[in-house]
Amino acid sequence: MKILGIESSCDETAAAVVEDGREVLSNIIATSLEEHKLYGGVVPEIASRRHAESISGVVKEALEKAGCVMKDINAIAVTYAPGLIGALLVGVNFAKGLALACNTPLVPVHHIRGHIASNYISSDIRPPFLCLVVSGGHSHIIAVNGYTDFEIIGKTRDDAAGEALDKAGRTMGLEYPGGVSIDRISKEGNENAFSFPKPRVSDSLYDFSFSGLKTAVINTIHNAEQKEEKINIADLAASFQKSVVDCLVTNLEKAAVDRGFNKIVIAGGVSANSKLRAEAQKLCERRKWSLYLPKLKYCGDNAAMIASQGYYEFMQGITADESLNAYATMPIDKSYKTN
């Protein structure tokens, strides 16, 4: 079964064809990242305009690379939530039009479910497993009990991990996205040079809080500026990255022990982070758990992960008609109503 995936929730316009949920036949991504770098963050209006310009070419290329025409496609999977609303609408409307014109079933896919599925196109992992999802907008610990059965165990109370890295990176004067820059520059820094408070969320064992940590870094920079002291940015970046990764891995370990999981999965843009990958590896070696990480090319936003999750949703009979809408927010454990 061949699924055409379409993704446009942020600044990547992407289309892909995936067979039986696991085999990637094509994976095309156009990004407006370079334009957003000028502003230090994604400008929603620019992202929407670029999606509208690129989407038909990207879909056409994905079909061609897969050696397919529309009549070979069994269903169209599209990201409908969560994300930038104007950006999502471009993909959703394109997918609706294509589905109607070609008489092809339409499958709505939750973006974060898609990130989790990036592991299905990277290895032979199958649910149940415990997943740490870390992206620009989300930090969750999720029990993935089945392909379409999700239970939120922990989440961030304020900033997502990627958001905190991006904001801290901006204050350090690093290029957007800060998460990528911090990962790069940290390799030259001493991660024990600065110590930051370990944030605690008093009434939950598994929730995260990153805003205090982010403020601590920003204050360190401002204090140094006021005293006209020079700060080693590589040391600061490495120390901050270490603190963020410590919080993620500590809660992940607690959740896995308490819930009895021995299969651990990481997903989302921040899963590309080299420190997080290394620390998760150490944890799983120490605990004798199996660790699954997405291939680097599937960590960021792409449509192959959407097509993969779309396959499993379609198998459950989840489809939408032309009334499908896009939503800026949507809990991962809420299933789309079936037609």
Q: Which residues bind Zn ion (CB under 5 A)?
A: 135, 301
In whole angstroms, the minimum distance from the beta carbon of 273 to ligand KG4 comes to: 3
Task: For helices 178-186 and 274-287, give the axis angle rounded to 10 degrees.
Answer: 70
Interface with ligand KG4 in residues 233-272 (CB under 6 A): 268-270, 272
Which of Zn ion, ligand KG4, none has residue 62 at its interface (CB below 5 to 8 Å by kind)?
Answer: none
Closest residue to ligand KG4, Cβ-based?
Answer: 269
Q: Which of 118, 135, 220, 251 binds ligand KG4 (CB under 6 A)?
A: 135
Q: Which of 105, 136, 154, 199 binds ligand KG4 (CB under 6 A)?
A: 136
> Is residue 5 within the footprint of ligand KG4 (CB under 6 A)?
no
Q: Do the Cβ atoms of 270 and 242 come closer than 8 Å?
A: no
| Among candidate residues 114, 146, 129, 126, the one with its CA nearest the CA of residue 3 | 114
In whole angstroms, the minimum distance from the beta carbon of 239 to ligand KG4 comes to: 15
Q: CB-wise, 104 or 139, nearer to ligand KG4?
A: 139
Which of Zn ion, ligand KG4, none has residue 179 at its interface (CB below 5 to 8 Å by kind)?
Answer: ligand KG4
Query: Would you tell me how many other CB atoms lie within 10 Å of the CB of residue 221?
Result: 16
> Is residue 82 within the footprint of ligand KG4 (CB under 6 A)?
no
| Rounded Cα distance, 186 and 236, in Å | 8
78: which residues sit within 8 A by CB, 6+ positions away?
5, 6, 7, 91, 92, 94, 95, 106, 107, 108, 109, 306, 310, 324
Q: CB-wise, 6 or 270, nearer to ligand KG4?
A: 270
| Among candidate residues 1, 16, 118, the one with its CA nearest the CA of residue 65 | 16
| Rounded Cα distance, 80 and 214, in Å | 30
> Is residue 177 within the footprint of ligand KG4 (CB under 6 A)?
yes
Residues in contact with ligand KG4 by CB under 6 A are: 10, 115, 135-137, 162, 165-166, 177-180, 183, 268-270, 272-273, 300-301
